[in-house]
Amino acid sequence: MARKRIVLGLATCGLVLLAFLLMPSRHKGFAKYVVSPVPASVDVTISRVDDWLGLNPEPVAYLKFSAAPPDLQKVITQGGFTEAATNAYVPVPEGPPGWKTVEQCGPRRRLFIRNHPSRGALPIGRNRSWSEFLWIDTTGTNAYFLLWGI
């Protein structure tokens, strides 16, 4: 009887631990797509990825987050983003509710771009090319990240 209780207790603890480890984190997508480690003040409010298996030839990922201006500068620097003219071409796919395009972010917005060239003949997974866009609205604390596969 005592053996059954021990086994049942260990199994319960194992399931709770497994559930905790598999619980999605709001910052997981940020660390994967934008920069890792995630700066302390980053708060992801919108996260949507349309490429679960990594096979979509035109993947799209949306992240909306807020952060303190010094942490936004860390994201830009550590992520290797380069500043672009605010009238540069940015694809405008329809995003999730609450998403703002570059044009909706006000006249003092800042736009940054990071490009990844294709690494192989078959455009699947990491062999495909993609562009990433990061823009900051006029408040200087709200940012939008768009991954756009080509």
Q: Is residue 14 part of a domain?
A: no
| Tens-place pLDDT, residues 69-82 | 999 999 999 999 99
The three state secondary structure string of the chain is CHHHHHHHHHHHHHHHHHHHHHCCCCCHHHHHHCCCCCCCCCEEEEEEECCCCCCCCCCEEEEEEECCHHHHHHHHHHHCCEEECCCCCCCCCCCCCCCCCHHHHCCCCEEEEEEECCCCCCCCHHHCCEEEEEEECCCCCEEEEEEEEC
Q: Is residue 9 part of a domain?
A: no
User: Does pLDDT of 86 surpass 70?
Assistant: no
Q: Is residue 81 part of a domain?
A: yes
Q: Is residue 55 part of a domain?
A: yes
Overall number of domains in the chain = 1
Domain extent, residue 99, equals 25-149
More confident position, 55 or 2: 2
Q: Is residue 122 part of a domain?
A: yes
Q: Is residue 11 part of a domain?
A: no
pTM here? 0.73
> What integer pLDDT is reported at residue 23 of this predicted model?
45
